[in-house]
Structure 1
């Protein structure tokens, strides 16, 4: 039961059928138009008929439940502080996205792009050998749960191609050639974040913040939700709106890199996760960002004085990514090492 204090308005964000994403150019442009309208109006939308079978979705949620039910010492073997790339397992309250809260009431496991792990086929995707400046994999895995790596990669290698197709659809949405962004998405920065929100007693005097208010520091985010409502979006009137789970869909939202590329014409909308039911919840967001060595500039159509951001400077994707990701991990060794770097 939802406590009256936490009752919120529900907005039906657009649900876009992408079943013809591999169809004719006119069909792809029609999808692009719908996505553009959604990004301009609210920055959030659902996609359905996305090609990932429901049995695979059910399988990955079973995988998450199995992992987070493991003994703590098994999960802590891959603790995020053992990994300089800020990947791995995060126990409860490890992060605090909203500094006004005690911390995020959730546990998580993050993996992402890694040119050294064979599952990601770096050479096949880029036509180059892996860089020689790094010898340690970007991801860390618990040694006593090999099935976890296998299962996450099975899903990762389904969601990444889908995200890449959406990149091309967004190029069409900007009236560009659909391959316009291929060069900055050859081997993109990715983050796949398995999340477990525990049973939380309802307390009318305490707001249970599973994930503090924030805007995603990505280009595009695709979120797989289970059936428990908790995701909320801050609309333009300053009201928190429920993004209700819809079976068979992903929730997609604009990230800050895409907002910058569009010079503010698309908004990276603030959102949060709050446990309003007390039920256990699982979700799996996938964050897509251009290549670490890419330089990102505002699109020609969005430059000048008309955009909300004025005349943004060109940015180095990887450098800015590090500066923005570290502050949320206040105790991580990598953050402490660079705490005095502007």
Structure 2
């Protein structure tokens, strides 16, 4: 059996005179911790591999979130990346705005506090969006979602910024792709056929995030107290490196919210909406959110989530999973908020258009007659 974290807490905290969060968590086993070193990719039938795969199946079906330890990414690399992220967010706002997201039709760059919207609320966080490096495509002759590929905007004020962040992204991507291969085994899918969904142009997106403390006197988060509201991740699989501050919460299948507290030298992993579609909602992407916690010393939360997805052009099949059955799951994310087009790139583009309206209006337009989005011509 995998190791479990036990909680027995009742939390009540006032986010403002107008807003109150209250949730109770009884003593239950939640959010399993999986030992990644037990999985041997070249020997999936070994005793230790089978133990890992059994635990992975249980985590995917019962929670959709899990920690992994012994993942092989050094603590030094993790800390260097987090320190680099903190250095960026300490820059003056005018310096950060030199790489502002609205400059990029590929949705790469910096978003100031409250610039992104989730669940119809402005996020109490600032961020830098990154992805795999590609040259920009000509406007004509490509599907509109293909323009999500393109160059990053890298801040040049911080020495080794690109190097430090890219090294972590590459290391986390390697871990994530191995987990995806393990997921194929868990579901008894042909691994080669399963991985063909990704191809050479599989998607990698990364966010560098800062969540100010709820009582931060300078940034003054909005009264709803949400760093990011309830949502599911659009892609296939997400890995998260977080600092020791906390604030991430996961909605269990019965609707309760539980804390996903930091555990040193682990990544948190969760499945996304595309995996949910692939399995005909047999495995459901887990709803989660981040709250801005108050702090006596105004300590901010920093995290680095990395998102893996199929190539933009991929048609996502829907397959039966003979080893599992659907569950009745309660979620704060409504069905009409899910992105479930069969073409993955359509889902990813619609997600960005919905979350970043200023950038969307600058670079894209919706043709009412065709009922389709298009890139705006450059004037």
TM class by shorter-chain length?
0.7 to 0.9
CA distance in 1, matches of 2:286, 2:159: 36
Could you tell me whether the CA contact under 8 Å between 1:212 and 1:273 is conserved in 2?
yes
Alpha-carbon distance change, 110 to 265 in structure 1, aligned in 2, over 3 angstroms: same
Aligned to 1:150: 163
Mapping for residues 1-342 of structure 1, pairs under 5 Å: 4-5=13-14, 6=21, 8-9=23-24, 12-22=30-40, 24-26=43-45, 27-99=48-120, 101=121, 103-116=122-135, 137-145=150-158, 147-186=160-199, 187-201=201-215, 206-278=223-295, 279-301=299-321, 315-333=342-360, 337-340=364-367, 341-342=371-372
Shift of 1:251: 0.8
Return the TM-score normalized by structure 1: 0.84
Instruction: Please tell me the root mean square deviation across aligned C-alpha atoms, in Å.
Output: 2.9
CA distance in 2, matches of 1:193, 1:56: 17
Compare 61-70 and 231-240 and name the one that shifted more.
231-240
Shift of 1:276: 2.5
CA distance in 1, matches of 2:317, 2:341: 5
CA distance in 2, matches of 1:260, 1:146: 42
Could you tell me whether the CA contact under 8 Å between 1:47 and 1:252 is conserved in 2?
yes
Post-superposition Cα deviations, 1:154-197, rounded to whole Å, max 9, x if no partner, equal: 11111111111011000001012333322122221111100001
Tell me the secondary structure at the aligned position of residue 76 of structure 2: helix
Could you tell me whether the CA contact under 8 Å between 1:28 and 1:169 is conserved in 2?
no
Which blocks of at least 5 consecutive residues in structure 2 are unaligned? 1-10, 15-20, 137-145, 329-334, 373-379
Compare 45-54 and 145-154 and name the one that shifted more.
145-154
Q: How many residues align?
A: 319
Post-superposition Cα deviations, 1:276-307, rounded to whole Å, max 9, x if no partner, equal: 333311001011111112111112436xx979
Post-superposition Cα deviations, 1:18-59, rounded to whole Å, max 9, x if no partner, equal: 113335222334322211111111111111110101111111
Q: Compare relative contact order (CA 8 Å, sep 6+) and give the higher one, 1 or 2.
A: 1
Alpha-carbon distance change, 272 to 306 in structure 1, aligned in 2, over 3 angstroms: closer
Return the TM-score normalized by structure 2: 0.76
Alpha-carbon distance change, 143 to 321 in structure 1, aligned in 2, over 3 angstroms: same
CA distance in 1, matches of 2:243, 2:23: 19
Tell me the secondary structure at the aligned position of residue 205 of structure 2: strand
CA distance in 2, matches of 1:185, 1:110: 21
Alpha-carbon distance change, 283 to 9 in structure 1, aligned in 2, over 3 angstroms: farther
CA distance in 2, matches of 1:21, 1:211: 33
Could you tell me whether the CA contact under 8 Å between 1:218 and 1:255 is conserved in 2?
yes
CA distance in 1, matches of 2:279, 2:345: 19
CA distance in 1, matches of 2:341, 2:365: 23
Which blocks of at least 5 consecutive residues in structure 1 are unaligned? 118-132
Tell me the secondary structure at the aligned position of residue 108 of structure 1: strand
Could you tell me whether the CA contact under 8 Å between 1:14 and 1:46 is conserved in 2?
yes
CA distance in 2, matches of 1:16, 1:65: 29
Shift of 1:148: 1.8
